Amino acid sequence: MMILNATMDLVDAIANRELEPLWTEGSVGCIIAKGSSLEGLPKVACCVQHFPRDGSYKVWWPDHPWTEGVQEYVDTLFDSSGEAE
């Protein structure tokens, strides 16, 4: 499946922060724990929702839809064998 380079870069930025890229509101997103920041992640055109109960944040980028190609790329990134199932 095809994935746009900008979306691949976003997924890489999330993974480089040792965060898990997630399907969020139909887009690429992640959860940021209390006390952490958006450092190293694109801040332009992102949506942020704060969860006061535990202090975490849900962050997602609506311009980067979560597609089958994104899922395959994420599966490959987090597959220790280097081959997604």
Per DSSP, the residues of 43-76 read -TT-EEEEETTTTEEEEEEEEEE--HHHHHHHHH
Rounded to whole angstroms, how far apart are CA atoms 63 and 79? 26
Does residue 20 lie within any of the structural domains?
yes
pLDDT of residue 84: 47
Domain of residue 50: give its range: 5-77
Residue 84, domain member (yes or no): no
Closest CA to 10 of 21, 18, 2, 1: 21
Total number of domains in the chain: 1
**Residue 56 has which token pair?**
């975490």
| Percent of the chain clearing pLDDT 70 (strictly above) | 92
Residue 49 inside a domain? The answer is yes
Residue 36 lies in a domain: yes
Look at residue 85 and tell me whether its pLDDT is greater than 60: no
Apex 17 CA angle, 59 and 76, nearest 5: 95
Q: What is the pTM of this model?
A: 0.87
